[in-house]
Amino acid sequence: MDKTKPINPIAYQPGLKKIRKRRWFLWAVICAYLPAMMIALDSPDYRNRATVVFCVWIALLIIAVVFACIVRCPRCGECFHTHGPTFLPLRRCLHCALHINADKRGAEAISPQAKPPKKK
């Protein structure tokens, strides 16, 4: 049996920190929509302001999703949140199952394995 020594999770800290920042930006953009739209609709010129708020929000959402999609896993080097065309903002890498807080938790005794893609 080939047993490889687990790498210290602290070595992944810069990459995981980058992933966490991009996730926070994505969720902040999503959560900012409702308050921004409520403020825009409460103004006297609500039609123009609501249109501007919506267009700016959509642009920020596209940027946030693209940044979250292209961020790489520090362990395997694959895209952390994407497997093929799907974007799944889960807490583990879709390829190697590295947890997003692995640097804060410490080494896991048994690291879960990502499920291999089904063969056609």
pLDDT by residue (tens digit) across 39-62? 999 999 999 999 999 999 999 999
Q: Model-level pTM?
A: 0.76
pLDDT by residue (tens digit) across 79-107? 999 988 888 888 898 888 888 988 887 65
By CB atoms closer than 10 A (0-12, 13-18, 19+), residue 65 is: middle
pLDDT by residue (tens digit) across 57-85? 999 999 999 999 999 999 888 999 998 88
The 8-class DSSP code of residue 92 comes to B
Could you give the 3-state DSSP secondary structure of residue 59? helix
Contacts of 1 (CB under 8 A, 6+ apart): none
Q: What is the mean pLDDT of the chain?
A: 85
List the Cα angle 112/113/118 in 5-degree steps. 145
Of 107, 105, 102, nearest in space to 5 by CA: 107
Cα separation of 73 and 5, whole Å? 19
pLDDT of residue 116: 57
CB 41 within 8 A of CB 54: no
- pLDDT band of 3, cuts 50, 70, 90: very low
